[in-house]
Amino acid sequence: MNPIIVVTGGSKGIGRAVVEKFAAEGFDIITCARTEADLVQLQTDIQSRYEGITVHPKAIDLSSKSAILAWVEEIQALHRPVEVLVNNAGVFAAGQTYNEPDGLLENLIATNLYSAYHLTRGLIDSMITQHRGHIFNLCSVASIMAYPNGGGYSISKFALYGLSKALREELKPYGIRVTAILPGATLTPSWDGVNLPQERFIKPEDIAESIWATYRLSERTVVEEIVIRPLLGDL
């Protein structure tokens, strides 16, 4: 039976690249996104391209705790241990801490932090039971360096980085590895319409390759965090 990877936000960008990489390496995929049509297309593409691979898609709003918990129950009903969890889903909104719209921070925290928190808590028991597993949290260079007009977003990503550190310490005794990925500007649909050359961005596939290479290390080793930037520097 194929191992299982759970990837949030798997229909586009970094999530899609991770799904592609792990499917190519023989993993069955459990993934989610907001748009049903995107997930149907993903399922068709992956299952037609990689023989023997199954994709379990779910359209879900990850800012909703109740929706996440319901999805956890569906995953648990498969009765298959989760080998890798990639908390990738996130949203960006520009704004300054002192004058950004009321409610913006709450929305960013719900999607960028609480989704990872609740999903990890929901799926961790199977990893603890098998004494193995790897959790990847897609943080950001904004997790370690705030920048103008990135107030609430930076706050949410600092918090996700903190969650990664807490989980790493707590899960060491169970043989579970936790890695924070901190990418700079990555060529995903969130940058559509920006008039910049592609070489100013990281390729999503490079991040997926980094995640795969980190997972493939021996179980006695953990890469705690990876900072990945465009060669020409941050935007």
Q: How far apart are CA 235 and CA 78, in angstroms?
A: 43
Give me the catalytic one of 50, 117, 153, 215. Answer: 153
For this structure, is 153 an active site residue? Answer: yes
> What tokens appear for 85 in the block?
């969890």
Map the chain to HEC letters: CCCEEEEECCCCHHHHHHHHHHHHCCCEEEEEECCHHHHHHHHHHHHHHCCCCCEEEEECCCCCHHHHHHHHHHHHCCCCCEEEEEECCCCCCCECCCCCCCCHHHHHHHHHHHHHHHHHHHHHHHHHHHCCEEEEEECCHHHCCCCCCEHHHHHHHHHHHHHHHHHHHHHHHHCEEEEEEEECCECCHHHCCCCCCHHHCECHHHHHHHHHHHHCCCCCCCCCEEEECCCCCCC
**134 has which bridge partners?**
84, 177
Hey, which residues are catalytic here? 153
